[in-house]
Amino acid sequence: MKELRRNMRFVGTLVVILFVGLAAWFAMTVFTQGSVWASDVRNSRLRATASLRGDITDRDGNLLATTAEDGTRQYTKNTTARRALSQTVGDTAGMSTGIETFYSATLLDISTGLIGRLNELFSSAKHVGGSIQITVDGPLQAWIASEFPAGYRGAVCVINYKTGEILAMVSMPNYDPYDLAVRSDTQVEDTAYLNRCLQGLYTPGSVFKIITLASAITNDVNVLDQAFSCSGAWEYEGGRIVCAGNTAHGTVNLKTAFKRSCNVTFGKLAYQLGLERLRQTAERFGFNENFKFGDFVVYNSAFPTDVSNMNGLVWAGIGQGEVLVTPLHMAMITGTIANGGVMMKPWLIQRIRSSMGKTTATGAPAAYRQVLSESVASKIAEYMYETVQSGTATRAAIKGYTVGGKTGSAEVSNDKTVETNAWFTGFIYDEAHPYAISVVIEGGGAGARMPSELAAKALKKAIEYVG
């Protein structure tokens, strides 16, 4: 009998220990994974526990999203602005990259302490979530979206290259979050839920020549004095590369080849460098890297780690083949050049306040890495300035400001049956207005007229709106 009692006490003690352990594990899991559960687009029950979601405002405090007393989520009244900010702000139906989903735990404030919950209980007050202020300038983003060429798809990213703040993140087509309230998905254009700035992986074309140029100057001190011959085409073992319109640029130096976007010269540069050195430079700029910025998720840009023949290397040198980049990353690359070779970490969250009105987090500038030496970055910036002054990007010039830039036409089909994507990336070289921009217009065609013109207008508006 004594042995039976001893065994029963042992089993009882074991059950209690297991129960306490399970409770502790569950509590710890809720503590460490609660925000992840709340942010999961499949989790409707947990997100429904808060009566009122917190507000989302832009950098100047303009209201972008709020919750009415009846519990309905409301967005800015201006339709153009509401649509322009749709992928950035998101919606409660689960736009995966939007603030509404990515910061569900904060907006619902599921971490509110026991005292706060008791106060709400006894005062009969509805629980209000935390509020988020973002770095984006709402009016600027709305204006850029309104000026985006009608009928085209693409993206525009504007950042402060000194601080890393994202000032505008336009993705076209966009959508109206109110359409989702009535489940009218048929009203939402295909791919409108895609935030092209973060998720659009595009062939960069000639804007990638910034990377090839950086690699050449870094690895070969004599390349600045080298003369290149361009007859409009270059035939090599395994392939052939041509310049736009079969234009023969003649004998050119590196600066002239860059501002005229000579494919032959940059194909030869890639061959001189070899895949390993070109890949190393690309990876210093963030290609093949899993960016973890905290404020958002951005897809990985890609550069080939292996090529089977010379053809793959030559085409990679002019941003074709297997090379892919997101518009945000391209703006970061350009900003690195303007910022003396330092790439800043991009950030979107300016301030978070709890339901009690206490500031719990603030964004701050942080360097991501020193990509290039200041001297190399300065030389590339000079070439980009010349490109806007007298090269392929003259339409991007802004009177009274020093603007550097690079155009690109990216082929997206092997047989040229699909119109090329048109690129422009550039910056204002100005202490008071340190803005970098990337613009991609799908099917925008060769010459990059549309993105260059849009970039100039967007940068002028950034000066006006952001200051």
Domains parsed from the chain with CATH numbers: 205-348+364-465 (3.40.710.10)
Distance CA 83, CA 297 (A): 21
Q: Are 142 and 431 in contact (CB under 8 A)?
A: no
Which residue type, as a one-letter code, is found at position 98?
A: G
- Taking Cα atoms as reference points, which of 196, 441, 210, 156 lies closest to residue 319? 210
Distance CA 114, CA 15 (A): 29
- Taking Cα atoms as reference points, which of 147, 142, 146, 140 lies closest to residue 453? 147
Query: For each of the chain's 467 residues, which pLDDT tens digit applies?
Result: 556 566 566 656 666 676 666 655 544 544 444 444 444 444 554 444 445 899 999 999 999 999 998 889 999 999 999 999 999 999 987 667 799 999 988 998 865 554 444 454 444 556 788 999 999 999 999 999 999 999 999 999 999 999 999 999 999 999 999 887 555 555 667 789 999 999 999 999 999 999 999 999 999 989 999 999 999 999 998 899 999 989 999 999 999 999 999 999 999 999 999 999 999 999 999 999 999 998 999 999 999 999 888 999 999 999 999 999 999 999 999 999 999 999 999 999 999 999 888 999 999 999 999 999 999 999 999 999 999 999 999 999 999 999 999 999 998 877 667 899 999 999 999 999 999 999 999 999 987 899 999 999 999 999 999 98
Signed CA dihedral, 79, 80, 85, 90: sign only: positive
Angle, CA of 409, 454 and 366, to the nearest 5°: 90
Please state, in angstroms and as integers, the Cα–Cα distance from residue 8 to each residue in 19, 177, 229, following that order: 16, 60, 92
